[in-house]
Structure formats: structure tokens, C-alpha cells
Amino acid sequence: MRQHVFVVMPFGKKEGIDFNAVYLDLIKPALLQAAVAPFRADEEILPGDIRADMFQELLMAV
């Protein structure tokens, strides 16, 4: 089973920092190279309570 990492961080552009670019260009590729599956809450495409999704991701993360 592949290890699972839940990334908790801001997303979008805030105060001159593009957090989406930081995640997509730096964090996510590094985690994939380390053979772990990254997930960020804003990547969830299914409707529902985001808090429940986040709690489940935290339980599954390493």
C-alpha cells in the first residue's frame, strides 16, 4: 500500500505568494518522487462536507 500524505497549507494567491504554484511545482513533485501519494483538501472533486473529508485524510495520512 502506498503511503498517503495530507498536505495542510493555504491555497491560491495570498500576499504575493502563489501557494498553488508552491504546492504544484515543489511540494507535490517532491512527495511523488519520495513514493508517497500527496493530497490537499482543495483537490477533492466530490461534493460534501470538507471537514469530514479533511478528518478522513488526517486519519489515513502517515
* 15: DSSP letter: T
**pLDDT reported for residue 25:** 97
**pLDDT reported for residue 13:** 92
**pLDDT reported for residue 27:** 96
pLDDT, one tens digit per residue, over 14-62 is 999 999 999 999 999 999 999 999 988 777 766 766 677 677 777 776 5
CA-to-CA distance for 10 and 6, rounded, in angstroms? 13
CA-to-CA distance for 36 and 34, rounded, in angstroms? 6
How many C-beta atoms surround the C-beta of residue 3 within 10 A? Answer: 12
pLDDT, one tens digit per residue, over 1-14 is 678 888 989 989 99
pTM of the model: 0.72
